[in-house]
Chains A and B, each alone.
Chain A
């Protein structure tokens, strides 16, 4: 198990090298002088030259890249052009904010989606099934920002239950979570429904019935865990996707998150921030994927032998009889 985790973490290296190389290349080929950007249009040529020298922009690109990677290894992702603050220091609190919102959103979406999915699988081809389909399709079809605006109108402006904007109050997290979570219900519902229906048709479900097991226990003890395997996969993917991809929601609700930070950095051509943001998100994604894979093993014991130990270890001597 430990070997597997170490192997997965080592995979980070080529991923990060790739990501950083691409963004570094972008930085060098796009027009515009970072030194002029930092100092503004009023700066004199001497000031700009001095800044360029200070930033190391006069060195060859490869030297700059190696220097940057050297910094990253020591935990230095460079300083933001705009504020002069270290990128890591700027991004970590934002990452936490985005992380909380993402976790909450996925929890809401997955929880409701799984419940609705089980419901429509058990009541397949009835009005319940159709109703669930309509509800989940509705949330999927309406764009996030519309959901967001409606939530603000109803929950904040009319009912005064939640703040309209910002996260100074912890209640401020609720609407962004709902806004990302509700549209994702549809996909969880569908995955749960189809995988539940598939599992309920499996032979081992018939075996459980032949034991005299109740339908309730068959659904929740035999079918659900097997049906959750594809759902867990989907949860893993969306956890990763929404951490850096929440800029619409972050803008609507005025939440200082990673998505908004990167979008702002792009418009300001703040390359250290873009580069640092991208690398940090990549690290987080790899870690999340690792955690998801470990969670899989808890759900599906077959993976323990096939993935974790590479399918090769056969320490237990099996009795010859078969």
Chain B
């Protein structure tokens, strides 16, 4: 195992408004080795983006708060950094690619200027050098460098996302957080963008957190995979482990709901029920109401995350030795 680049410990993030407190991220733990890709999957509202913004320290002003926890990046706690120190990290050491390329670029600035901006900020070079670097970056993401003088509206969606990626990679960051980089794009473009991201990630040895709700993308791209549900990580492990041998009932249900092309089915499998309201999370297991394997313990207590095999963790009473039924469940496997 290589050097550990990111270590998120017991991170809790709340959104606080006058009316309510939304518990968006609840005590999550994540680790990422240098050069690896970690997939963060989960449905909308599971807290994936909030986790990413928390790492970037870009939570919405006044509303988003990190309540507790540590985010160790290259051994230093980002939560203890001053705003000035964070600015020198953002864009340089940690970059982020946002979900919607249509709105992520400033409409009144040329794309060249927008790429050069980050280079100028962190490499302390002249505007001309930064623009030259911007053109190199455009070429790298497959756009004719001469188009650096054009404005975002003159590019297609897929090309805009390439530009966003060029901005994110311009300073060769150690960690790249990609928040659903392909969600807003159509399927053929998705594949191109993902291929390109993986190629660039390998060439530069960048570590990456890939946020997605597309399990196929995770299987394709990621070394590790974390499944989020209601602000918690319910399963974490190497991608093969999580995919070949899913342990948490939520993960298992997710796989069942992937439509198969081979089988002739009338209705797609869905997970019954709704995600619980994050402003009113239960004391007990948050997946309990939708779970097919629940037990009397599940409606009373909140399970904790335990290792089910080496490097593979799940947050379910099935695998907690204290739970009486665990022996029987293990026997079945």
- Measured between beta carbons, the chain B residues less than 8 angstroms from A301 are 107-108, 151, 153
A212 touches B122 (CB 8 A): yes
Cβ of A321: which chain B residues have Cβ within 8 Å of it? Answer: 142-143, 159, 192
Q: Which of A204-237 contact B (CB under 8 A)?
A: 204, 206-214, 222, 225-226
The interface stretch among B95-103, B243-251, B260-268, B271-279 is B95-103
A309 contacts partner chain B, Cβ-Cβ < 8 Å: no
A300 to B151, CA, bound (A): 10
Alpha-carbon separation in the docked complex, A206 to B105 (Å): 10
Known: A202-B103, A203-B103, A226-B108. A211 touches B58 (CB 8 A): no
Residues of A within 8 A of B42 (CB): none
A193-204 to B contact mask, C-beta < 8 Å, 1/0: 000000000111
A319 to B147, CA, bound (A): 10
25 residue pairs from A and B, CB less than 8 Å apart:
A202-B103, A203-B104, A204-B103, A207-B98, A207-B167, A209-B58, A209-B90, A210-B56, A210-B90, A210-B96, A210-B98, A210-B168, A211-B91, A211-B118, A212-B122, A213-B87, A222-B106, A226-B108, A299-B108, A301-B108, A301-B151, A302-B153, A305-B153, A321-B159, A322-B159
Set of chain B residues within 8 Å of A305, measured between Cβ atoms: 153-154
Partner of B121, one of A202, A203, A212, A302: A212
B56 proximity list for chain A (CB < 8 A): 210
Tell me the bound Cα distance from A83 to B56 in angstroms: 75
A211 touches B154 (CB 8 A): no
A61 to chain B, nearest CB (A): 52
A206 CB contacts on chain B under 8 angstroms = 58, 98, 104
Which single residue of chain A is at the shortest CB-CB distance from B113? A221
- Give chain B interface residues in 144-201, CB to chain A under 8 Å: 144, 151, 153-154, 156-159, 164, 167-168, 189, 192
Q: With A211-B117, A212-B88 in contact, is A322–B104 under 8 Å at CB?
A: no
Q: Which residues of B contact A225 (CB under 8 A)?
A: 108
Interfacial residues, chain B to chain A (CB-CB below 8 A): 56, 58, 86-92, 95-96, 98, 100, 103-109, 117-118, 121-122, 142-144, 151, 153-154, 156-159, 164, 167-168, 189, 192
Contacting residue for A213 out of B107, B108, B117, CB 8 A: B117
Known: A207-B167, A208-B117, A222-B109. 4 other contacts (CB 8 A): A211-B91, A211-B118, A226-B107, A319-B144
| Residues from chain A with Cβ under 8 Å of B157 in the complex | 322
User: Which B residues touch A210, using CB under 8 A?
Assistant: 56, 58, 90-91, 95-96, 98, 168
CB neighbours of A202 from chain B (8 A):
103
B118 x A204 contact (CB < 8 A): no
**Chain B residues with CB below 8 A from A203, complex form:** 98, 100, 103-104
Measured between beta carbons, the chain B residues less than 8 angstroms from A213 are 87, 91, 117, 121
Q: How far is the CA of A211 from the CA of B105 in the complex (A)?
A: 12
Inter-subunit contact B164/A214 (CB<8 Å): no
Q: Which of A204, A214, A318, A319 contacts B107 (CB 8 A)?
A: A204
Kindly list chain A residues whose C-beta atoms are within 8 Å of the C-beta of B91: 210-213
